[in-house]
Amino acid sequence: MASREFRLQMEGYGLTTAEIHYHLPDHPSLLQLYVWQEYDLAPEFPTLKGFLDYWERELEGALHSVRVAHHRLIRPSEWQALDGILTFQ
C-alpha cells in the first residue's frame, strides 16, 4: 500500500514549509521561530490555514509573521528532443 504522503502528492499536494515568527507570551518584545512542514495545496493552503487558525485559537503566542515555501515533488516529467545520436564505446 502506498504511503499517505505519496497519495497526497498524486492528488496534487506539495511539500509546504512555513517559517512562523511569534511573540513570546511572557516577553512580548522577543520573537520566537517555529518551523512547520506538511503536504498542502497551493495557493489556497487549507492545511496551513487550519494550523494557523488552531494556533490563534489555542496558543498564547501572538503571531508576528509567516513565510511560506511550497514545492510540488511529483509533476509531469520534462523532456527535450535531441537532434543526433551519441555513441559511447
pTM of the model: 0.77
Residue 61 lies in a domain: yes
Residue 67 lies in a domain: yes
Compute CA distances 39 → 7, 9, 50, 59, whole Å: 10, 8, 13, 22
Residue 79 lies in a domain: no
Residue 37 lies in a domain: yes
pLDDT of residue 53: 97
Is 31 in contact with 61 (CB distance < 8 Å)? no
pLDDT of residue 39: 95
Q: DSSP secondary-structure letter at 76?
A: P
| Segment 49-72, tens digit of pLDDT | 999 999 999 999 999 999 999 988
Angle at 56 between CA 67 and CA 5, to 5 degrees: 55
